[in-house]
């Protein structure tokens, strides 16, 4: 019995033993791990059988990271089994799964990495990466679309309407290792589209110009008017300076005036004499009393502080300018359009 037949019989026994009951059933991830261990033990036949079974195309339970890891070991196993076409096919599946994948040269020898690079050069595939959520508010804002290619080839990038008609053609040309494409969220006529679901589609073309692979990524577009900004709060009262001096007490002037008036009344001989002394002293007393009252009022009146008045006026005018600026900006914001974009999960379609 040949070495391959012995290995295949051993794998059959392993799989049969693993399927003996539900408690021993292996998941595809566990099968990938066993296939990698078989490769590391130089049992390439067992590794190829285990990995091929775990990586069956119809099995969708395997995570992409596990699938990629299994495919690179499957390709290496097939190469060492001298099945070069099968190894190339495994590497091609890996690159279509993840066009950015780079083989670890510290793990795999040159013959494996060399074949992988040869397959990369003839595999035309692109990975599309966009932010999960974006808001386009100002002129110049755009959704960044990054393309990562396996090799240089021609691509078409477009945003499609729900009925498949192009909303905007974004790029037609070659892509190398990577390329950034920007979309300002508008249709070909420059107007923002209605809210709804659109499709970002990237087509990879073969050497004959035919589309050989398409990546479609749904984009949920929401259009709304810009939100107004709040008006600036008025300056705090603590920022204003006092504009007048505090009034002095007029009690002293009042008391002085009234005391003088009383003295004039009680001492007529000192103040006035003659037949009209009585009338004169009352006139003088009244004048002194009025003078005391007027003096007290004058002392109590506050005086303006010009520099503080000017500073307060400048503070108020600065705030008013800010308010006017925000009001003008809000008029523009209410007339502008904000475009929100949410990206979904991409889907790959390979040409038959």
Query: 179 phi and psi, to 5 degrees?
Result: -155, 135
Res. 186: pLDDT tops 50: yes
99 and 16 assigned to the same domain: yes
Selected residue with higher pLDDT from 58 and 23: 58
Position of tokens 């050989």?
A: 212
Res. 260: pLDDT tops 60: no
Selected residue with higher pLDDT from 315 and 4: 315
d(CA 311, CA 241): 8
d(CA 345, CA 217): 6
21 and 114 assigned to the same domain: yes
Lowest mean per-residue pLDDT among 15-24, 210-219, 306-315 = 15-24
Q: What is the pLDDT of residue 1?
A: 42
Res. 280: pLDDT tops 90: no
Q: What does 134-182 look like in DSSP terms, one character per residue? A: EEE-STT--EEEEEEESSSEEEEEEEE-TTS-EEEEEEEEEE-SEEEEE
118 and 10 assigned to the same domain: yes
For the segment 134-172, what is each residue's pLDDT rounded down to a tens digit? 999 888 999 999 999 999 999 999 999 999 999 999 999
3 state SS of 282: helix
135 and 116 assigned to the same domain: no
206 and 317 assigned to the same domain: no
**Residue ending a domain, choose from 94, 122, 150:** 122
| pTM, to two decimals | 0.64
Tell me what the mean pLDDT of segment 19-33 comes to.
Answer: 70
Res. 126: pLDDT tops 50: yes
Res. 131: pLDDT tops 80: yes
Its domain, for residue 107, covers 3-122
> In this prediction, what percent of the chain has a pLDDT beyond 90?
59
Lowest mean per-residue pLDDT among 107-116, 165-174, 250-259 = 250-259
Residue 227, in any domain of the structure: no
Q: Pull the structure tokens for residue 214.
A: 């398409």
């Amino acid at each position: 019995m040949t070495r391959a037949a012995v290995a295949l019989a051993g794998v059959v026994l392993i799989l049969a033993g693993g399927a003996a009951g539900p408690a021993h059933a292996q998941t595809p991830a566990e099968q990938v791990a066993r296939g990698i261990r078989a490769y590391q033990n130089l049992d390439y036949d067992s590794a190829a059988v285990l990995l091929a079974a775990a990586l069956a195309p119809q099995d969708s339970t395997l995570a992409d990271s596990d699938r990629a890891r299994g495919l690179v070991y499957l390709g290496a196993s097939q190469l060492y089994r001298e099945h070069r076409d099968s190894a190339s096919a495994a590497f091609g599946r890996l690159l279509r799964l993840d066009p950015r994948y780079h083989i670890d040269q510290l793990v795999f020898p040159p013959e494996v990495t060399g074949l992988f690079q040869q397959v990369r050069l003839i595999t035309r595939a692109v990975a599309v990466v966009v932010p999960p959520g974006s808001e386009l508010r100002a002129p110049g804002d755009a959704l960044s679309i990054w393309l990562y290619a396996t090799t240089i080839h021609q691509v078409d990038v477009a945003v499609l309407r729900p009925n498949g008609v192009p909303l905007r053609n974004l790029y037609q040309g070659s892509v190398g290792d990577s390329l950034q494409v920007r979309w300002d969220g508008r249709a070909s006529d420059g107007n923002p589209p209605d809210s709804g679901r659109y499709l970002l589609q990237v087509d990879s073309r073969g050497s004959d110009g035919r589309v050989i692979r398409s990546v479609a990524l749904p984009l949920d577009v929401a259009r709304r008017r810009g939100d107004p900004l709040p008006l600036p709060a008025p300056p705090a009262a603590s920022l204003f300076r006092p504009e007048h001096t505090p009034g002095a007490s007029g009690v002293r002037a009042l008391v002085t005036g009234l005391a003088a008036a009383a003295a004039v009344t009680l001492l007529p001989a000192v103040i006035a004499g003659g037949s009209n002394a009585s009338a004169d002293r009352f006139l003088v007393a009244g004048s002194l009393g009025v003078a005391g009252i007027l003096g007290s009022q004058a002392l109590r009146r506050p005086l303006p502080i010009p520099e503080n008045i000017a500073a307060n006026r400048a503070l108020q005018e600065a705030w008013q300018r800010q308010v006017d600026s925000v009001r003008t900006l809000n008029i523009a914001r209410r007339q502008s359009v904000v475009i929100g974009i949410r990206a979904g999960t991409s889907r790959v379609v390979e040409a038959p």
